[in-house]
A and B are shown apart, each in its own frame.
Chain A
Amino acid sequence: MAKVLAIHPDRCTACRACELACSMKHYGEFNPSRSRIQVSLFLDEAVYIPTACTQCTEAWCAKICPTNAILMDPKYMAYYVDDNKCVGCKMCVLACPFGSIQLYPEVGKAEKCDLCLSIDGDPECVKFCAPKALEFVDEDTSVKAKILATAKKLKETYREVTA
């Protein structure tokens, strides 16, 4: 069963602990601007949205890569970058419609969320997310949770209507 990084923006409290944890785990330093997960803060509207690679089934970044440096881990169904193959051509950056893959100028290699597969497969951002806006769960659990949440809202509406 593939596991996914489930993001719940309604729970995010804008603390950006995920950005710190990510940059430390992958690069050994605190650098939110280089984090593979980014929290966009719409402070005036009180909306905070974490975004990271969604692990497309048919990933444009992988398809366009001329050196086949972006590979899928069959166990997690998640894409990671093979640093040995990446030549820093930036085609993947152009191809990704979400801005989820980037090149850090000083390094020159593509960087994207790989669910920490390149290290231990245990996403660091999730561990540091106190309000549980980030969860690492089985793919169907994530969907089922959404179905249930929607169903609960419908149930309340139904009750109000029929009361």
Chain B
Amino acid sequence: MGGWTGQILRVDLTTGKATKEPLDMKRARAYIGGRGLATRYLLDEIDPKVDPLSPGNKVILATGPLSATSAPTGGRYMVVTKSPLTGAVACSNSGGYVAPEIKGCGYDFIVLEGKASGPVYLWLHNDKVEIRPADTVWGKIVHESEDILRAATHEDAKILGIGPAGERQALVACVMNDKERAAGRSGVGAAMGSKNLKAIVARGTIPVKVARPKEFMTACLDAVNKLKASPVTGQGMPTYGTPVMYNVINAHGFLPTKNFQFGTFADCDKISGETLREKYLVRNKGCFACTIACARVTAVPSGKYKGHGEGPEYESGWALGAATGVSDLPAVIKANYLCNELGMDTIEAGVAIATAMELYERGHIPEKDIGRPLRFGDADALVEMTGKMGRGEGFGAILALGGYRVAERYGHAELFMGVKKQAFPAYDSRGAQGMAVGYATSNRGACHLRGYTISAEVFGMPTKMDPGATEGKAAITKAFQDTTAFVDATGVCLFTTFGIGAPEIHTLLEAATAQGYTLDECLNIGERIWNMERQFNLRAGFTAGDDTLPPRILHEGIPDGPAKGRVARLGEMLPEYYQLRGWDTSGVPTSEKLKALALA
């Protein structure tokens, strides 16, 4: 056995019973781990129509065969469940130091079932499992909760859990770990909260083994050296982190501004990665086994937004900044800290506020509902609303449902900028057509981490593509989606793909597991995972009608900047995309395709 521990932990929170069972190696071989294998288990074990906040839903915390090894960035874990935000399949991915502790306790993943009668946390210490009352930490912010739980267990324990937002099952809630890292999207924190599970505390020192150690370490060193040599993963990301993207995307004219009313942000440089570095960066930091170290340790030393923590990342700073029109960087940083402390997805939180701002400015939300004016660019309003959202106070309780439900509640669902009720991230797909077909078809709703065509459309990797053109975008979207699904199944960070590719990750996987994987097979597994997620969504009730974009994105041209006049020409790409996928015109995988992928 190499890579996998070969064991999973199943915890029924209703009965308080924890059982260990062998990993099903047949499914592990076919779905690898992480996003792939955990979603396979989820689809095999729950009805996709289940109420995501009911005890019938399950939450799987999954590592991959490369997690907790020397494979660069091999510290990822994923939260796989049916999303309370979208009703679709969810897989949110995070770094930090938790994955190696879970594997160090001897588990490839943990399946959480049922619902505890009161707040509890799970304490895993090597092979021991304990469900303990969480009364001392329920209601506490993430950071305080971690300190209390560590003091109550082991000084080297690592912790993942929810903040007050997740406890209240806010649909914008994420799962946080190591205080500052987030499995952010799709409201996975609400699913954990619905089980009355505050946290998982783990300390594991059981060794993790690989099948062919010498070959594996040679492959690791090769990958490390390539990541160090890459201008993106060796220089750009360690120096400026993901916020290096603001000025780049703004210059292309598709930095979504003021709830996607504009494609450029005049004050972009005030929130840019360069400004963040110059004024508020303490240092950069890496997650477990990460050679890139893109994380931003930051501090606002004085003023009304004083504080310290990590971030904001590009997406976070955009959602809380350009999307809301706020250019006061300390306020954006403060709102980001609040999201981490209260346990909220920064993208969903920022876009919820941006949605409310547009609704307010257009007169669709009365001021009495909010309790204050809520205009674009109002830094104090941003910080106040972020805090209220996380604590469920006043209008914050409405915002905590996410932007879609805010817009729907006030009769203007069309003003919500997202897909399948999940908010768009920081690229206006009118400017970059590949993102249009990617957002529309992403299995977890609007997302940049499922098929990042910006890589080709802006950075020219692997080849330069015109962002405004639709030609070839269906094909590259499919290729990126499948490759990404493979990478997400292994347990390494998607950011590695700026410096190494599927061939290197395949070499690592094969040396770790000795399963006889070929590169082609790995990419085929990526495609299998994508189609399996599609099957989940189809069974949950989604149709081709959900593979669409908001009317603004489809019909209103970007009014400003270099991408002026562009709309998302989804209709030119979607039929081709379905065809390339081997799906019928209703977006349903054909029986031949399912057979070819061993999914029938």
Binding site for B on A (CB under 8 A): 13-17, 20-21, 23-25, 27-34, 43, 46, 48, 124, 127-128, 130-131
Contact = CB atoms under 8 A, between A and B. Distances in A.
A46 B297 contact: yes
B450 interface: no
A40 to B, nearest CB: 10
A102 to B, nearest CB: 12
For the residues of B in contact with A, the DSSP-based class is: loop
B284 A130 contact: no
A29 B217 CA distance: 11
B100 interface: yes
Given A27-B207, A128-B224, A13 B286 contact: yes
A29 B178 contact: no
A24 B291 contact: no
Contact of A14 (B156, B220, B286): B286
Interface residues of B, number: 37
Contacts of A20: 69-70, 289
30 contacts: A13-B283, A13-B285, A13-B286, A14-B285, A14-B286, A15-B290, A15-B291, A15-B293, A16-B288, A17-B72, A17-B290, A20-B69, A21-B70, A24-B70, A24-B217, A30-B68, A30-B208, A30-B209, A31-B206, A33-B104, A33-B156, A46-B282, A46-B283, A46-B297, A124-B217, A128-B291, A130-B228, A130-B291, A130-B293, A131-B286
A15 B100 CA distance: 12
Contacts of B68: 30
What are the 10 A-B residue pairs with the smallest beta carbon separation, nearest first?
Answer: A15-B286, A130-B291, A29-B207, A13-B293, A13-B286, A33-B205, A31-B207, A30-B208, A20-B70, A46-B297
B284 A13 contact: yes
A30 B446 CA distance: 37
A126 B72 CA distance: 15
Contact of B209 (A16, A17, A29, A33): A29
Contacts of A48: 285
A15 B287 contact: yes
Nearest to B203: A33
B160 to A, nearest CB: 15
B148 interface: no
A159 B556 CA distance: 58
Contact of B207 (A13, A14, A30): A30
A28 B213 contact: yes
Interface string B194-231: 00000000000111111001000100110010011000
Nearest to B103: A30
Contacts of A124: 217
B76 interface: no
Given A13-B293, A30-B210, 20 more contacts: A13-B238, A14-B285, A14-B286, A15-B286, A15-B287, A15-B293, A20-B69, A21-B70, A21-B217, A24-B213, A27-B207, A30-B70, A31-B205, A31-B206, A31-B208, A33-B104, A124-B217, A127-B224, A128-B220, A131-B286
A122 B482 CA distance: 39
Contacts, number: 85
A23 B207 contact: yes
Interface centre among B72, B100, B238, B282 (most CB of A within 10 A): B100
B391 interface: no
Interface in B227-252: 227-228, 238
A139 B343 CA distance: 48
A24 B207 CA distance: 10
A29 B289 contact: no
Contacts of B238: 13, 131
B528 interface: no
Contacts of A33: 104, 156, 205
B207 A128 contact: no
Nearest to B143: A44
Contacts of A13: 238, 283-286, 290, 293
B249 to A, nearest CB: 26
A23 B69 CA distance: 10
A99 B289 CA distance: 24
Nearest to B292: A130
A20 B287 CA distance: 13
B405 interface: no
A131 B287 CA distance: 13
Contacts of A27: 207
B421 interface: no
Contact of A131 (B100, B213, B293, B297): B293
Nearest to A16: B288
Contact of A17 (B70, B97, B179, B210): B70
Contacts of B282: 46
A8 B405 CA distance: 50
Nearest to A32: B100
Contacts of B179: 43
B372 to A, nearest CB: 33
B235 to A, nearest CB: 12
Contact of B291 (A17, A43, A46): A17
Contacts of A25: 217
Contacts of B293: 13, 15, 130-131
A130 B174 CA distance: 30
A43 B217 CA distance: 28
B216 to A, nearest CB: 8
B213 to A, nearest CB: 6
Contact of A130 (B100, B227, B283, B297): B227
A128 B221 contact: yes
B128 to A, nearest CB: 16
A33 B208 CA distance: 12
Nearest to A124: B217
A108 to B, nearest CB: 16
A15 B283 CA distance: 14
A128 B219 CA distance: 12
Contacts of A29: 207-209
A17 B217 CA distance: 12
